[in-house]
């Protein structure tokens, strides 16, 4: 493929001929009575579809994960779309369920996040900006609760909330580092109580995760009520229900809980719903999206953020517990450039050209980085799921480098396929689709990593040692106290999420490959009770990104004809 003449993602998406939405929905067995149009090319799916009679058919459930990515990402989304297109080329009923992109990265350094090349979800512009307003609904519901917290303080603080122990911040779907730490309530007495707080990006909101995991409007309402906004001076938790905010928040989210239906460039169905952060949350699309996909297809493909150590582990331990679904296959996306980076010989920086040596034919560097792929295969197999390795091919790859990956996979008995979906669409993903079909019909023995009645600290240690390969964990005094308090408050039966870097299997982003001989520091622990998990913070996690020196927003514009430019 000549990259100098290859059209941009936006050009490809703009040239697409979209299928009528009722025809796209019909591929999933969704009739007009469960379809709510949002313009000509997007629709919401009413959850009543899940109550339709079933014929006992069970789709194959496929999760797409990856090796530890470089800062540029290795193409999980486009591989997910390409796989769905490839399966459709084989005559299978396939649907892909993906997260909705946050506008923060869209206008920041990443640009659009709807797939790439000829494996995209369209309409691209609507998907990357606003869509059906779900992100705005989450933003509004989150900030309503924040406003009611401060209103309660202003009117006397009858619940006895400790102003120094309020954990609920505000959110905005924009990268804005200046809002990370703010002081509110300045001015006259009637302007509120002065206190320190801050903003996170909307994707980091607990409400976004909660929406992802809720299986019905009633479930959503109950989860909202369980949100803990802070604590009293005697250590008791204060919830959204205590503040009387949960009902109004649920009302604001009653449409946002319905998944969005779009289509791939080849006219196949794509369900887009929710977008929780991959660093501190589940990093997956919604449970409802997956349940709809399973009910209306032969192959339901979904994506989990970052590598198998993060996205897949949370998908298995958190999302699958809620949904009750058992995955049949985990596709591990790998690129030559990622394995070369894990050799330790190259440094890849976003916004900078790739190191020239990275583009040269060098099978030995790929070989040196195989330890990372090996670890991710082990992680998937630890959960009893069949792995398939998808080599996301780039034009600058060499056959000898692909051969190194294939040879390793053959040695350990893992199916592998080179996928050229970006350049060729579904036709370029046929080999991958065939491998997934074969793996999906083999026996699997899915199991969780830990039982829920295990103490929180032991759950964290299980993830650190059995998934990441740490020798153990070092819990700070503050984190130890929080864990003890959460057990006392009745949160001990929740699963755990580890908030750490995505650039290493370890908690240190500088450690590449499959690090050994390290211990994981647990510096802080927080409870996302409404979402239904406790998360341990094991690094410097930015929940409000900043813009780069030359953000993508500078290149985005709209012409007099309404066509958007610069999005990809």
How far apart are the C-alpha atoms of 516 and 3, rounded to whole Å? 39
Q: Is 447 one of the annotated binding-site residues?
A: no
Greatest pairwise CA separation for the chain in angstroms: 71
Q: Is 319 one of the annotated binding-site residues?
A: no
How far apart are the C-alpha atoms of 193 and 186, rounded to whole Å? 8
Residues 6+ apart with CB under 8 A from 31: 25
Q: Is 73 one of the annotated binding-site residues?
A: yes
Query: Are 336 and 372 contacting, i.e. CB atoms less than 8 angstroms apart?
Result: no
How far apart are the C-alpha atoms of 268 and 263, rounded to whole Å? 5
Q: Is 74 one of the annotated binding-site residues?
A: yes
∠ CA 226-227-230, rounded to 5° = 120
How far apart are the C-alpha atoms of 260 and 270, rounded to whole Å? 8
Q: Is 352 one of the annotated binding-site residues?
A: no
Instruction: Report how far apart, in Å, the C-alpha atoms of 47 and of each of 52, 288, 301, 529 are.
Output: 10, 8, 19, 24
Q: Is 349 one of the annotated binding-site residues?
A: no
Q: Is 7 one of the annotated binding-site residues?
A: no
Torsion of CA 331, 332, 336, 341, to 10 degrees: 160
Backbone angles phi, psi at 327, to 5 degrees: -70, 145
DSSP notation for 226-283? H-EEEEETTS-EEETTTTT-HHHHHHHTTTTTSPEEEEETTS-EEEE-----TTTS--
List 60's β-bridge partners, or say none.
Answer: 299
Q: Nearest-CA neighbor of 29 among 267, 295, 259?
A: 295
Q: Is 20 one of the annotated binding-site residues?
A: no
Residues making up the annotated binding site are: 70-77
Residues making up the annotated binding site for ATP are: 70-77
């Amino acid at each position: 493929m000549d990259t100098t003449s290859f059209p941009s993602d936006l050009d490809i998406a703009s040239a697409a001929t979209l299928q009528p939405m009722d025809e796209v929905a019909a591929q999933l067995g969704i009739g007009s009575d469960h379809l709510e149009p949002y313009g000509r090319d997007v629709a919401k799916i009413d959850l009543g579809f899940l109550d339709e009679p079933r014929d006992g058919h069970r789709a194959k459930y496929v999760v797409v994960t990856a090796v530890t990515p470089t800062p540029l990402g290795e193409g999980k989304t486009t591989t997910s779309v390409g796989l769905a297109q490839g399966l459709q080329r084989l005559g299978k009923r396939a649907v892909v369920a993906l997260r909705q992109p946050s506008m923060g990265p869209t206008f920041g350094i990443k640009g659009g996040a709807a797939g790439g090349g000829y494996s995209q979800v369209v309409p691209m512009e609507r998907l990357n900006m606003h869509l059906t307003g779900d992100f705005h609904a989450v933003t509004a519901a989150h900030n309503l609760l924040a406003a009611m917290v401060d209103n309660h303080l202003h009117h006397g603080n009858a619940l006895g909330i400790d102003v120094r122990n309020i954990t609920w911040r505000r959110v905005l779907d924009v990268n804005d580092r200046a809002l990370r730490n703010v002081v509110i309530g300045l001015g006259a007495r009637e302007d509120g109580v002065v206190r320190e707080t801050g903003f996170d990006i909307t994707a980091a909101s607990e409400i976004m995760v909660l929406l992802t995991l809720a299986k019905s409007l009633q479930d959503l309402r109950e989860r909202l009520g369980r949100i803990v906004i802070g604590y009293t001076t005697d250590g008791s938790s204060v919830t959204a229900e205590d503040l009387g905010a949960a009902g109004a928040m649920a009302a604001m989210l009653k449409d946002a809980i319905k998944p969005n239906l779009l289509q791939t460039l080849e006219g196949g169905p794509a369900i887009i719903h929710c977008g929780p952060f991959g660093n501190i949350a589940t990093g997956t699309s919604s449970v409802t999206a997956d349940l709809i996909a399973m009910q209306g297809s032969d192959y339901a493909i979904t994506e989990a953020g970052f590598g198998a150590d993060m996205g897949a582990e949370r998908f298995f331990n958190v999302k699958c517990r809620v949904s009750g679904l058992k995955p049949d296959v985990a596709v591990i996306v790998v690129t030559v450039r990622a394995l070369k980076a894990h050799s330790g010989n190259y440094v890849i920086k976003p916004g900078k050209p790739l190191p020239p040596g990275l583009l040269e034919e060098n099978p030995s560097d790929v070989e040196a980085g195989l330890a990372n792929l090996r670890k991710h295969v082990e992680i998937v197999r630890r959960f009893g799921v069949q792995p398939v390795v998808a080599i996301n091919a780039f034009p600058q790859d060499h056959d000898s480098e692909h051969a190194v990956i294939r040879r390793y996979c053959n040695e350990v008995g893992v199916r592998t396929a080179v996928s050229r979906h970006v350049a060729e669409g579904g036709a370029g993903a046929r080999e991958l689709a065939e491998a997934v079909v074969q793996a999906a019909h083999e026996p699997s023995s899915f199991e969780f990593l830990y039982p829920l009645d295990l103490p929180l600290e032991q759950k964290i240690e299980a993830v650190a040692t059995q998934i990441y390969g740490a020798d153990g964990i070092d819990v700070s005094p503050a984190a130890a106290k929080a864990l003890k308090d959460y057990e006392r408050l009745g949160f001990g039966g929740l699963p755990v999420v580890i908030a750490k870097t995505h650039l290493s299997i370890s908690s240190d982003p500088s450690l590449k490959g499959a690090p050994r001989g390290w211990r994981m520091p647990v510096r802080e622990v927080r409870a996302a009770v409404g979402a239904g998990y406790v998360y341990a913070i094991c690094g410097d996690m930015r929940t409000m990104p900043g813009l780069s020196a030359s953000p993508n927003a500078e290149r985005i514009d709209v012409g007099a004809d309404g066509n958007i430019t610069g999005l990809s």
